Structure 1
Amino acid sequence: MNEFVISSGHAKVVRGASGYLDEVNEARKIVPKVAEYLKDLDCKVHTFDDDTSKTQRDNINTIVKYHNSKSRDLDVSVHFNAGTKETGGTEVLYYGDENIVLAAKVSKAISEVLGIKDRGAKKRTDLGFLKGTAKPAILIEVCFVDTKTNADAYKKNFDKCCKAIAETLSGKKLKDEAKPVEKKNIIHKVQVGAFSDEKNATKLAAELKKKGYSVNIVKG
């Protein structure tokens, strides 16, 4: 897959879940970062945030309309979950059975970098986004906003999470940043002279030591 449309869930007025994290705010952080990494992987990306809708129905219709207006291979919606404070976890929702493998891979990739439960791929036939988009689609539930361990793990590993999503969607790997080359301390030695008579060598060494030089006599 080389072309994507990625949107954040809900809207500025039609808010989503909230707790230790705010779903709308965090989804709007993930979308541009994932898009940035996808572009680094030579993919074409369209992104969308809904700033105008006043109702849930309008919100779904607005997002779906934007997705369907673009050329793309896959539609992706970014959300955050709520409701299981004890365990939390990552899950990815899909509609068509052809998307189950990708959904499972994305869920696993996110859960591994965040170190939280992998709830896996889950088929949903009742969601407007998944039913309304004309191309294959997945809806990512990154983690649970009301589970503190999830929120802490997400905040700590935000960048890794975005990289994992981009790499899994594209099937490509981002290049590791070049590590700085460590400079080695190189010692340069200077040979002053060579003597067949050890006394002459010892005499010169003594004179150099008086002047503050470090001197070694090497026999060879």
Structure 2
Amino acid sequence: MAKWLIDPGHGGVDSGASYKGRRECDDVLKLSLRVGELLKNNNENVYYTRSIDTTISLAERSNKENNGNYDYFISIHRNAYQPEIAKGFEIHVYANGGVAEQLANKVNSEVVKNGFVNRGIKISNFHVLRETKSPAILVEVGFIDNTSDNNIFDSKFEQIAQSIVKGCLLQIGKSISINSNSLNNNEVYYRCVAGSFKEKRNAEVRKDELISKGYKDTFIEVYKVK
């Protein structure tokens, strides 16, 4: 069992990249929460730098990691360049040859199976990679300004989340366990919403109630009414 800090990029006043009304901060928060749920379902300890759409500085992100004795730091982003020009999945690490690169290779190998162009592992001097103590990776889950990447992100959202978790668990010598009532990649499912709440605490109470009744795949999804 490891202790994971999941870092959904941007948030609050910093929406990150955007394209045709789609915001990076929303996509990565949704994906981060699902990755965290899957890790928890596999008996891992999971924490977040943010779990709602709020502003968090780079220093606050790295300080949280440095003060928490985490085993791994996973920052989740979406890329952008010029509309419809670049596409693909890539992972950034601070340096070659360490545990972070091992983790990056495992996650990359799993995620690109979903149809993303493989842009590989890149060495980058990003704050959240440089200033964190634990092995840290920053994943760019396709280009938000590329329609084909957005189609993969949307149509294979669950598979992508599972792929990230598969790579993480491989790093610590585990295989992913998916509950029998989890999504099947080859079938169509219909999501049942059990309430929308203005206060996060009320959503958490409803989630706990459903889990206690056997609905183990219950998770909180953050959205903004437009």
Q: Are 2:64 and 1:66 aligned?
A: yes
How do 1:66-105 and structure 2 match up within 5 A?
66-83=64-81, 85-97=84-96, 98=98, 99-105=100-106
C-alpha displacement of 1:47: 1.1
TM-score, normalised via structure 1 length: 0.73
- Amino acid across the alignment from 1:109: E
Q: Are 2:175 and 1:162 aligned?
A: no
Whether the 8 Å CA contact 1:82–1:145 is kept in 2: the answer is: yes
Q: Deviations over 1:135-193 (max 9, x none)?
A: 110001011000100001110010111111111111222236269xxxxxxxxxxxxxx
| Percent of aligned positions that are identical | 27
> Which residue of structure 2 aligns with residue 47 of structure 1?
48
Q: Distance in 2 between matches of 1:11 and 1:67?
A: 18
Whether the 8 Å CA contact 1:7–1:48 is kept in 2: the answer is: yes
C-alpha displacement of 1:109: 1.5
- Amino acid across the alignment from 2:65: H
Moved runs in structure 1, 4+ residues, more than 3 A?
none
> For structure 2, which runs of at least 5 residues remain unmatched after alignment?
183-226
Q: How many residues align?
A: 172
> For structure 1, which runs of at least 5 residues remain unmatched after alignment?
54-58, 180-220
> Which residue of structure 2 aligns with residue 217 of structure 1?
none
> Which residue of structure 1 aligns with residue 146 of structure 2?
147
How do 1:101-120 and structure 2 match up within 5 A?
101-113=102-114, 115-120=115-120
Q: Deviations over 1:69-122 (max 9, x none)?
A: 212211111100011533400000001321223212212211212x12011111
- Amino acid across the alignment from 2:177: L
- Amino acid across the alignment from 2:110: A
Whether the 8 Å CA contact 2:92–2:121 is kept in 1: the answer is: yes
Whether the 8 Å CA contact 2:31–2:161 is kept in 1: the answer is: yes
Q: Deviations over 1:24-78 (max 9, x none)?
A: 001110111101100111111111227244xxxxx11111111222122111111
